[in-house]
A and B are shown apart, each in its own frame.
Chain A
Amino acid sequence: MKRKVLMAFGLLAAFATILFCLALPGSQAQAKTYQIGTDVTYPPFEFANKNNKYVGIDIDIIKSIAKEEGFKVNVKPVGFNAAVQSVQSGQLDGIIAGMTITPERKDKFDFGTPYYKTGAVMAVKKGSDITSFKQLKGKKVALKTGTAAADYANSLKKKYGFKTVTFDDSDNIYQDVTTGNSVACFDDQPVLQYGIKHGLKLQIASKPANQGWYGFGVKKGTHKALIKKFNAGLKKIQANGTYDKIVGKYLGTANNSKVKGKTFTIGTDVTFPPFEFANKNNKYVGIDMDLIRAIANEQGFKVKIKALGFNAAVQAVESGQADGVIAGMSITNERKAQFDFSKPYFNSGVVMAVAQNSKIHKLSELRGKRVAVKTGTSGADYANSIKKKYGFKVVTFDDSNNMYADVSTGNSVACFEDHPVMQYAIKQGTKLKIVTKPALNAPYGFAVKKGHNQALLQAFNQGLADLKASGTYDSIKAKYLGADEIKTAAKTSGNDAEDRTFIGLIKQNKGALLSGLQETLWLTVVSIFFATIFGVLVGLMGVVPNKFSQGTSTTLIYLFRGMPLLVLALFIYTGIPSLTGQKIPAFVAGVVTLTFNEGAYIAAFVKGGIQAVDPGQMEASRSLGLPFGKAMRKVILPQGIRIMVPSFINQFIITLKDTSILSIIGLLELTQTGKIIIARNLEGFKVWTIVAAIYLIIITVLTWLSNWVQRRTKV
């Protein structure tokens, strides 16, 4: 029996190596890049912003240090636990994930100089009357697995008699409390503070306990050089102010002078990046948002932001429902009849952008060429108003990304877009450049209802002036538009809204969803290919008249069918590298996992299918003098395969669905994509509905396809 198990493992290893070699062209090309693991979502330390770019204190710190010290980092948001395990298994070089330095962790990790002080606190639902641990008796408390705060809570559990539920990420523990499933949660203080500051409906109900420090960790005894570089870099960025800037950027400097303590309701657009848009916590950020908050902070009042949509926000102010509106709103004479405007805080205008390597820099060079615009924007209005004069053709897109892509791929030679929007896109990595001065200049203003809220208006003007003086105004702009050029103009009807309808969500996340789907399909196809080979081999081994081969087959099927897919995935991704010292890319680990798991099921039904063929068929073949192999090929298999076809199709569909489990090892397939989108916009129901629908559509198509194939093979 032992020998069989050994043999199974040998096979496994051999298979893994083959796959590894097959699917790994040049993944280790960049040699001096460190692979750093981080959490999927742990704001303000790490989270995906609207463009699915990972930002946060941790990310910014490690990147600044890398820049300072001249190395490269590849930050992988694989989740806290996966990151910890991957560092231990050598898949990743280091981890920066709001990881508290604890004695236990020191057994396994070497930590760099502590970079952030923290403590565990309890938070309860806003308005809850729970203020002490005693009140938790018999109640449920939500924890995030593997955190120091969870350890703290577990240490109190017995004494105070509460129950705990654990989740894999912060959003889930917060939600569990806000929905009332749990009465409290424990998390690190800065994280909770940040969340609450950004609209989380919780309140902190205990003093920070188990105060500790966050540290950057590597596997004990490895990467001494990396730790050294980290410490040196941390020292430098703390000395030159970068560190404070990073922390300030996410947590805000809390120094205010004249506290009036009043709360004003401010209406804004739903989405008009870079002026206002929801980040992953569903908290509105952008130039307008940062500005109004900074001003409120500076002037000592509070604001309640209502993202109503442009028209609704304007009407809310007119009706007195909201005190003011800041929504990329151009100051026009018509509007002045109903509103009092602040001093202009931004000048926008329409610009022309071309591909980075394009030589075009004048409107007159567009003659006979194609120009891309986005429907309903002032850029489109402007382009249409001058296309006769300059003799170009206009092609319209629904979506900015497509418009940009049309230009960067060279289908169109240029596009027209609002200047700040274009700047923002370029800052986010769009490969275009702006070549004209803004046209159709129009200033943006903050507005209140005519004759009302004059104190607010004055405070805004005062605050704006102060921020301009202190440089905060410039840094807000720079944050969204890039540091280079900050001057400009335009008018846009802020109706570019990011809506939260299904169609809106699909539109916004089309790119992410499609690439997630692509990954899912690719994983499925590659896995089913290898799983079929593996399964057919193992299945056939199970029917040849040889005890050893049958035993091997049975053992393999037993092993890989008996192991939960999730465990197998983690074992292969983190376990195998620990055994062999050889890294496995997540994709390969995923394929190997599915190959073994789905392969075992395939083996079982291949075996079963063959065994289901009447034994008389084999006897009759053998009695004619046909050798076993020939009898198998000519008589048994053709009948067995017919029995197996429905199982194969079924297995294909199961494999497609099972790929979702591989999100655990950080593969950016459809489910993981969904998780990340939800972490950002908290539209759980809608996004999961969309994701579910995509799976269903693909599976329906597959089913049709396979029914068609089945009908053809029946002939």
Chain B
Amino acid sequence: MSEKVKVTNLVKTFGDNEVLKGINLTVQKNEVVVIIGPSGSGKSTLLRNLNKLEEPTSGSIVIDNVDIARNDVDINAVRENIGMVFQHFNLFKNLSVGENIMLAPVELKKQTKDKAAIQAKQLLKTVGLEEKFDATVQSLSGGQQQRVAIARALAMNPDIMLFDEPTSALDPEMVGDVLAVMKDLAKQGMTMVVVTHEMGFAKEVADRVVFVDDGQILEEGTPEQIFEHPKNERLQDFLNKILNV
């Protein structure tokens, strides 16, 4: 096992509001890390710092031995290796399903159009939507859109995937399909950082679970440690709340 991501003393403030208060987090290659925590605790902000959708205020974020928190890195090149999946899918509404997946590889000259199309069809197959290549985004259900979004992120062949509550905007019956795709990815050894409230997924797939509250990591460990033997009082409260709803 080798270190893929190493976050040290990461601080992020919005104006006077210190949202991340010194985060230290390491993600190993092929590891699946699930981040849990109450709303507003800074989970999304942490995730978005990892591909610099947010500019870190201080601290370092080393990915593959490069500190991306510094200003002199080519952030576009870094992002090519980090796929991201959003709560609200964010598929490009002006493009078809196929075009959504092909856009980045073609525009960034990774692939010719033809090859990108072949790859896009393959990716669609792996998420179970091979017949939707020409469909418009608007014609898809939420679950289908999220699976296309995953395929789109995979099209750049990233070695890290970030998921920010990928299922929380979905109708319950669609959640399973998306989680299944994510499980497959994990099995294939993808390095993944997943923010989710799906505790079942965390228990089954996560190598490690991280509990974030008020901009700090209060506890981390295996799913068993976190869910069966939580030590931190706030984590116990949090688990009580979500498991008893």
Residues of A whose CB lies within 8 Å of any CB of B are 614, 616-617, 619-627, 630, 634-635, 638-639, 642
Given A620-B92, A634-B107, A638-B94: A625 and B86 interface contact (C-beta under 8 Å): no
Q: Say yes or no: is B132 at the interface (Cβ < 8 Å to chain A).
A: no
Could you count the A-B residue pairs with CB atoms below 8 Å apart for me: how many are there?
63
A620–B91 Cα distance when bound, in Å, is 8
**Is B77 a contact partner of A625 (Cβ separation < 8 A)?**
yes
A614 to B89, CA, bound (A): 12
Given the known inter-chain contacts A617-B93, A635-B94, A638-B94, please indicate yes or no for A626 contacting B107, CB distance below 8 A: yes
* Interface residues in B113-160 (C-beta closer than 8 Å to A): 149, 152-153, 156
Number of interface residues of B (CB under 8 A): 26
Given A624-B104, A624-B153, A635-B94; A619-B53 close (CB under 8 Å): yes
CB of B76 within 8 A of chain A? yes
- B62-97 contacts to A (CB < 8 Å): 76-80, 82-84, 86, 88, 90-95
With A616-B86, A634-B103 already in contact, the answer to whether A625 and B92 are too (CB < 8 A) is no
Does B180 touch A at the CB level, under 8 Å? no
Contacting residues, chain B, for A620 (C-beta < 8 A): 84, 86, 90-92, 149, 152
Residue among A614, A616, A623, A630 with max Cβ neighbours from chain B (10 Å): A623
Residues in A whose Cβ lies below 8 Å from that of B78: 625
Please, how many angstroms separate the alpha-carbon atoms of A620 and B89 in the complex?
8
**CB proximity of B126 to chain A, nearest CB, Å:** 18
B103 adjacent to A616 (CB under 8 Å):
no
Of A617, A622, A627, the residue contacting B92 (CB under 8 A) is: A617
**B51 at the binding interface (Cβ < 8 Å):** yes
Closest to B108 in A: A625
Q: Which residues of A contact B82 (CB under 8 A)?
A: 623
- Please report the C-alpha to C-alpha distance between residue A634 and residue B79 in the assembled complex, in whole angstroms: 18
Q: Complex formed: what's the CA distance from A621 to B156 in Å?
A: 12
Once the chains bind, are A617 and B90 in contact (CB under 8 Å)? Answer: yes
**Contact present for A623 and B92 (CB under 8 Å):** no
From known contacts A616-B86, A617-B92, infer whether A624 and B103 are also in contact, taking CB-CB under 8 Å.
yes
Once the chains bind, are B92 and A635 in contact (CB under 8 Å)? yes
Most buried by A among B86, B93, B95: B93
Q: Is the interface of A mostly helix, strand, loop or mixed?
A: helix
Q: Are B90 and A627 in contact (CB under 8 A)?
A: no
27 contacts between A and B (CB under 8 A): A614-B90, A614-B93, A616-B88, A617-B93, A620-B86, A620-B90, A620-B92, A620-B152, A622-B79, A623-B51, A623-B53, A623-B79, A623-B84, A624-B80, A624-B103, A624-B153, A625-B77, A626-B103, A626-B107, A626-B108, A634-B103, A634-B107, A635-B92, A635-B94, A635-B95, A635-B103, A638-B94
Chain B positions within 8 Å of A623 at CB level: 51, 53, 79, 82-84, 153
Most buried by B among A617, A634, A638: A634
Find out whether the CB atom of B93 lies under 8 angstroms from the CB atom of A624.
Answer: no
Give the distance in Å from the alpha carbon of A673 to the alpha carbon of B211 in the complex: 77
Smallest beta-carbon distance A626→chain B, Å: 6
A623 to B91, CA, bound (A): 12
Contact among B94, B95, B152 for A624, CB-based, below 8 A = B152
Could you tell me if B79 and A639 are in contact, using CB atoms closer than 8 angstroms?
no
Apart from A617-B90, A625-B77, A634-B107, what are 5 other A-B pairs with CB-CB below 8 Å?
A620-B92, A625-B80, A626-B108, A635-B92, A638-B94
Q: What is the minimal beta-carbon distance from A627 to any residue of chain B, in angstroms?
A: 6
Q: Across chains A and B, which 5 residue pairs bring their CB atoms closest together, nearest first? A: A620-B90, A625-B80, A616-B90, A624-B104, A623-B84
Are B76 and A627 in touch, CB under 8 angstroms? yes
Q: What separation, in Å, do the CA atoms of A197 and B89 have in the docked complex?
A: 82
Q: Do A619 and B152 touch across chains, with their CB atoms under 8 A apart?
A: no
Partner of B79, one of A614, A617, A625, A638: A625
Contact residues in A for B76 (Cβ distance below 8 Å): 625-627
**Distance of A642 Cα from B95 Cα, bound (Å):** 13
Kindly list chain A residues whose C-beta atoms are within 8 Å of the C-beta of B80: 624-625
Smallest beta-carbon distance B105→chain A, Å: 9
Q: Which residue of B lies closest to A635 (CB)?
A: B92
Minimum CB distance partner of A618 in chain B: B90
Residues of chain B having any CB pair with chain A under 8 Å: 51, 53, 76-80, 82-84, 86, 88, 90-95, 103-104, 107-108, 149, 152-153, 156
Q: Which residues of chain A come closer than 8 Å to B86, judged between CB atoms?
A: 616, 619-620
State which of A619, A630, A639 has its C-beta within 8 Å of the C-beta of B93: A639
B104 touches A622 (CB 8 A): no
Q: Of all chain B residues, which has the CB nearest A619?
A: B53
Q: How far is the CA of A638 from the CA of B93 in the complex (A)?
A: 9
Residues in A with CB closer than 8 Å to B77 are: 625
Chain B nearest Cβ from A219, distance in angstroms? 57
> What residues of B have a CB within 8 angstroms of the CB of A625 in the complex?
76-80, 104, 108, 156
Chain B residues with Cβ below 8 Å from A638 are 94
A626 to B155 alpha-carbon distance, docked (Å): 13
**Judging by beta carbons under 8 Å apart, are B84 and A630 in contact?**
no
Look across to chain A and name the residue whose beta carbon is closest to the beta carbon of B91.
A620
Closest to A627 in B: B76
Q: B106 to chain A: closest CB distance in Å?
A: 10
| B94 in contact with A630 (CB, 8 Å) | no
Q: Looking at the assembled complex, report how far the CB atom of B53 sits from the nearest CB atom of chain A, in whole angstroms.
A: 6
Q: Given A619-B53, A619-B86, A634-B107, is A624 in contact with B79 using a C-beta cutoff of 8 Å? A: yes
- When distances are taken between beta carbons in the complex, the residues of chain B under 8 Å from A619 are 53, 86, 90
Cβ 8 A contact of B53, one of A622, A630, A639? A622
Distance between Cα atoms of A307 and B94 in the complex (Å): 68
B213: shortest Cβ distance to chain A, in Å? 25
Please give the distance in Å from A612's CB to the nearest CB on chain B.
Answer: 12
Give the shortest distance, in Å, between A644 (CB) and chain B (any CB). Answer: 13
Chain A residues contacting B92 (CB-CB under 8 Å) are: 617, 620-621, 634-635
Complex Cα distance A280/B186, Å? Answer: 89
Whole-angstrom CA separation of A620 from B164 in the bound complex: 12
**A634 / chain B contacts, CB cutoff of 8 Å:** 92, 103, 107
> Assuming A614-B90, A639-B94, is B107 touching A630 (CB within 8 A)?
yes
Q: How far apart are the CA atoms of A635 and B102 in the complex, in Å?
A: 13
List residues of chain A with CB within 8 A of the CB of B90: 614, 616-617, 619-620
Question: Which residue in chain A gives the minimum CB-CB distance to B76?
Answer: A625
Measured between alpha carbons, how far is A638 from B94 in the docked complex, in Å? 7
| Chain A residues, CB < 8 A from B94 | 635, 638-639, 642
Q: Which residues of chain A are near B107, meaning CB under 8 Å?
A: 626, 630, 634
Whole-angstrom distance between the Cβ of A642 and the nearest chain B Cβ: 8
Q: Would B156 and A624 count as touching, CB distance under 8 A?
A: yes
What residue of chain A has the Cβ atom nearest to residue B81's Cβ? A625
A625 to B53, CA, bound (A): 11
Q: Please give the distance in Å from B22's CB to the nearest CB on chain A.
A: 25
**What is the CA–CA distance of A642 and B90 in the complex, to the nearest angstrom?**
18
Interfacial chain B residues near A622, Cβ < 8 Å: 53, 79
Q: Which single residue of chain A is at the shortest CB-CB distance from B52?
A: A622
CB of A637, distance to nearest CB on chain B (Å): 9
- Docked pose: A626 CA to B79 CA in angstroms: 9
Q: Contact at A626–B104, with CB atoms within 8 Å?
A: yes
A91 vs chain B, min Cβ distance (A):
49
Most central of A616, A620, A634 by chain B CB within 10 Å: A620
Alpha-carbon separation in the docked complex, A52 to B7 (Å):
82
Which single residue of chain A is at the shortest CB-CB distance from B77?
A625
Min distance, Cβ B181 to any Cβ of chain A, angstroms: 18
Tell me the minimal C-beta distance from A610 to chain B in angstroms: 13
Smallest Cβ distance from A613 to chain B, in angstroms?
9
How many Å from the CB of A485 to the closest CB on chain B?
75
Instruction: Provide the bound-state CA to CA distance between A235 and B229, in Å.
Output: 115
Nearest neighbor of B110 in chain A, beta-carbon distance: A625
For the complex, give the distance between the alpha carbons of A638 and B84 in Å.
Answer: 23
Give the residue name and chain of the A residue nearest to B51 (CB): A623
In the bound complex, CA of A677 to CA of B41 (Å): 74
**Complex alpha-carbon distance, A625 and B95, angstroms:** 18
Least CB distance from B158 to A in Å reads: 9
Contacts of A635 in B (CB 8 A): 92, 94-95, 103
> How far is A639 from B90 in the complex, measured between Cα atoms in Å?
13
- In the bound complex, CA of A104 to CA of B15 (Å): 59
Report the minimal beta-carbon distance from B223 to chain A, rounded to whole angstroms. 28
Chain B, residue nearest A623 (CB): B84
